[in-house]
């Protein structure tokens, strides 16, 4: 298999050394004293220091779903999406039904991407955010520098396997070891989003490294992975959301400002996933509550859910119905706040801006900006990454517990691997 480099990241950024004058703030990960000897000990194994005492380079890998950058990529994007049993379980018919549904859906979705400028901006924003975060980390933590930016998408280029080959090309793994942090870009954990990306990363990790030619496990020289798997109420994230809301509130006359209804909108989930025990609804609610707390509960607000697909029951109330109902009742000043995604995408640019806002037909219905290149947000990403490295954790405690209704062997294997418990007989 041959792999093209998917990265538009100049090599001088990857190779950039951290300024030596900056005070190191990262606590040493070598011989980490906080190693927990509990059942779910999740400390990062020691990373080898080089002769200069540096523990870098550190690969920072952003995980996300991705999107088609051009309308020509839509069918491939949808084919991968409908082939994903962690997102859309179609059982034994997956490989037959998936491509069929994807092909039938392609023209409609191509039109939507065409209406928002010809493609999804997710790749542009993800690569920018990761690169900028790494620049900050090089200054904040020279000990673990250089921090090298990578993006691994679940359904569009650059795919996980491409990212993995790029890691090898850059000197990670392949007997050389090295440290990589998988950083989910979904602030709130769902087994259908972050869970699916981690299952994919675990799959490719097993395929591409960790095995000798005879098929036996060979842990020597493999990449040491740790995971930032959720961050729904990180203060930096909350601050960035709150500032974007405040900026939009300022566009209303002062005397009406506190009456504006804040409508937090998150991608919905099928009720079958909610009832399986998926953590996402609770984590989205945690984000909303933290943002409102930061705003001093200055406005009335609701959380609603968008982008239902197919005929089955999904978590509601739906965003479009909510807006229509409130406008009908005279709440014509509303701010929509996309709260479960860190950049613009088809759901903000098409569904909220073109469908919901046009339907509402009221100049008082507006949308808070997405986080995109917001410097407060990028600083939050760097803070989060540094806190993670300083803690020396492999993953959060939450990642080590499966949903009540989970029957997936993939979830079990993935969680054991990322918790560093692969060879233990655990019931997760």
Ligand X SMILES: C=CC1=C(C)c2cc3[nH]c(cc4nc(cc5[nH]c(cc1n2)c(C)c5CCC(=O)O)C(CCC(=O)O)=C4C)c(C)c3C=C
Looking at 209-249, list the stretches that DSSP marks H as alpha helix, in order from N- to C-terminal side: 235-249
Asked if 44 interacts with ligand FES (CB under 6 A), we say: no
User: Which range of residues in 139-147, 251-259, 342-350, 408-416 is near ligand X by CB under 6 A?
Assistant: 342-350
Q: Tell me how far, at minimum, the Cβ of 186 lies from ligand X, in Å.
A: 5
Nearest-angstrom CA–CA distance, 54 and 57? 8
Work out what residue 309 binds among ligand FES, ligand X, none; the CB cut-off runs from 5 to 8 Å by kind: ligand X
Chosen residue from 406, 416, 419, 421 binding ligand FES by CB under 6 A:
406
Bond preceding residue 375 cis, omega within 30 of 0: no
Q: Which does 190 bind (CB under 5 to 8 A by kind): ligand FES, ligand X, none?
A: ligand X
Minimum distance from residue 276 beta carbon to ligand FES (Å) = 6
Q: Least distance in Å: CB of 66 to ligand X?
A: 7
- Establish if 226 lies at the interface with ligand X (CB under 6 A): no
Which of ligand X, ligand FES, none binds 341 (CB below 5-8 Å, type-dependent)? ligand X
SS3 content of the chain, % helix, strand, coil (to 5): 45, 15, 45
Which residue is associated with the tokens 């029951």?
313
**Sequence-ordered list of residues with C-beta below 8 angstroms from that of 87, at least 6 positions apart, any chain:** 81, 192, 193, 196
* Cβ closest to ligand X, residue 190 vs residue 322: 190
Q: Is 303 in the site for ligand X (CB under 6 A)?
A: no
Tokens linked to 35: 């190693």
Q: Which does 189 bind (CB under 5 to 8 A by kind): ligand X, ligand FES, none?
A: none
Q: How far apart are CA 237 and CA 293, in angstroms?
A: 13
CA 412, CA 162: separation in Å to the nearest integer? 25
If you search the block for the tokens 């030619």, which residue do you land on?
213
The interface partner of residue 347, options being ligand FES, ligand X, none and the CB cut-off 5 to 8 Å by kind, is ligand X
**Of 333, 237, 336, nearest in space to 291 by CA:** 237
Of 179 and 415, which has the nearer Cβ to ligand FES? 415
CA angle centred on 66, ends 195 and 378, rounded to 5°: 90
Render the burial of 120-131: b for 16+ CB within 10 Å, e for the rest: bbbbbbbbbbbb
Partner interacting with residue 408 (select from ligand X, ligand FES, none; CB below 5-8 Å by kind) = ligand FES
Q: Is 343 in the site for ligand X (CB under 6 A)?
A: no
Q: Give the chain's largest Cα–Cα span.
A: 74
What the block records as the tokens of 40 is 């779910």
- Structure-token pair, residue 91: 């059982």
Of the residues 47, 238, 346, 357, which one makes contact with ligand X according to CB under 6 A: 346
Contacts of 271 (CB under 8 A, 6+ apart): 312, 313, 314, 315
Q: For residues 157 and 403, which CB has a smaller minimum distance to ligand FES in the complex?
A: 403
x/- binding map, residues 261-280, to ligand X, per CB under 6 A? Answer: ------x-xx--x------x
What's the min distance (Å) between Cβ of 320 and ligand X?
14
81 binds, among ligand X, ligand FES, none (CB under 5 to 8 A by kind): ligand X
Residues 261, 302: contact at Cβ < 8 Å? yes
388 binds ligand X (CB under 6 A): no
What tokens appear for 399 in the block?
Answer: 């990642």
303 phi, psi to nearest 5 deg: -105, 130
Q: Is position 84 annotated as part of the catalytic site?
A: no
Q: Which two tokens stand for residue 416?
A: 């054991």
Which of 240/389 has CB closer to ligand X?
A: 240
- Is 383 one of the annotated active-site residues of the chain? yes
Rg, Å, the chain Cα set: 22
SS3 at position 8: coil
Given the residues 267, 331, 383, 388, select the one marked as catalytic: 383
Instruction: Report the residue number, 146 or 195, with the smaller CB distance to ligand FES.
Output: 195
Q: Which residue's CB is nearer to ligand FES, number 365 or number 406?
A: 406
Residue in 266, 297, 309 with CA at minimum distance from that of residue 284:
266
> Closest separation between CB of residue 181 and ligand FES, Å?
21
Q: How far is the CB of 428 from ligand FES (least distance, A)?
A: 8
Near ligand FES by CB under 6 A: residue from 32, 354, 403, 426: 403
When asked if residue 191 is in the footprint of ligand FES (CB under 6 A), the reply is yes
- Classified as helix, coil or strand, 208 is helix
Task: For the segment 21-80, give every residue that binds ligand X (CB under 6 A).
Answer: 65, 67
Residue 23 DSSP one-character state? P
Please identify which of the residues 86, 138, 147, 234 carries the catalytic annotation: 234
Give least dist CB 113 to ligand X, A. Answer: 7
Residues taking part in catalysis: 234, 383
Residues that bind ligand FES (CB under 6 A): 191, 195, 276, 402-403, 406, 408, 411
């Amino acid at each position: 298999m041959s792999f093209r480099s998917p990265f538009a990241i100049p090599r001088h950024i990857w190779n950039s050394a951290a300024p030596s004058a900056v005070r190191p703030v990262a606590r040493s990960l070598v011989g980490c004293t906080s190693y927990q000897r509990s059942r779910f000990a999740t400390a990062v194994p020691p990373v080898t220091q080089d002769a200069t005492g540096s523990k870098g380079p550190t690969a920072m890998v952003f995980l996300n779903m991705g999107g088609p950058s051009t309308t020509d990529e839509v069918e491939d994007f949808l084919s991968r999406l409908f082939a994903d049993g962690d997102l859309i379980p179609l059982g034994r018919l997956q490989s037959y039904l998936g491509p069929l549904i994807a092909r039938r859906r392609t023209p409609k979705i191509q039109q939507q991407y065409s209406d928002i400028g010809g493609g999804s901006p997710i790749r542009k924003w993800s690569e920018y955010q990761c690169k900028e975060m790494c620049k900050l980390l090089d200054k904040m933590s020279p000990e673990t520098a250089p921090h090298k930016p990578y993006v691994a998408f679940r359904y569009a280029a650059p795919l996980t396997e491409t990212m993995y080959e790029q890691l090898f090309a850059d000197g990670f793994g392949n007997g050389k070891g090295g440290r990589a942090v998988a950083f989910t870009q979904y602030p709130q954990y769902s087994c259908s989003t972050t869970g699916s990306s981690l299952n994919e990363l675990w799959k490719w990790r097993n395929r591409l490294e960790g095995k000798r030619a005879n098929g036996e496990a060979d842990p020597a020289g493999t990449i040491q992975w740790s995971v930032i798997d959720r961050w729904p109420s990180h203060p930096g994230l909350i601050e960035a959301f709150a500032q974007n809301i405040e900026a939009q509130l300022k566009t209303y006359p002062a005397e009406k400002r506190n009456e504006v209804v804040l409508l937090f909108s998150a991608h919905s989930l099928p009720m079958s996933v909610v009832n399986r025990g998926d953590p996402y609804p609770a984590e989205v609610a945690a984000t909303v509550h933290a943002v409102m707390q930061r705003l001093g509960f200055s406005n009335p607000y609701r959380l609603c859910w968008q982008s239902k697909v197919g005929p089955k029951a999904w978590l509601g109330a739906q965003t479009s119905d909510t807006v229509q109902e409130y406008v009908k009742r005279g709440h014509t000043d509303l701010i929509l706040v996309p709260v479960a995604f860190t950049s613009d995408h088809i759901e903000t640019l098409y569904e909220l801006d073109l469908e919901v806002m046009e339907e509402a037909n009221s100049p008082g219905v507006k949308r808070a900006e997405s986080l995109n290149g917001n410097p407060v947000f990028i600083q939050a990403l760097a803070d989060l990454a540094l806190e993670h490295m300083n803690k020396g954790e492999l993953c959060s405690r939450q990642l080590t517990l499966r949903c009540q209704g989970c029957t997936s062997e993939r979830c079990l294997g993935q969680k054991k691997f990322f918790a560093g418990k692969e060879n233990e007989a655990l019931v997760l």
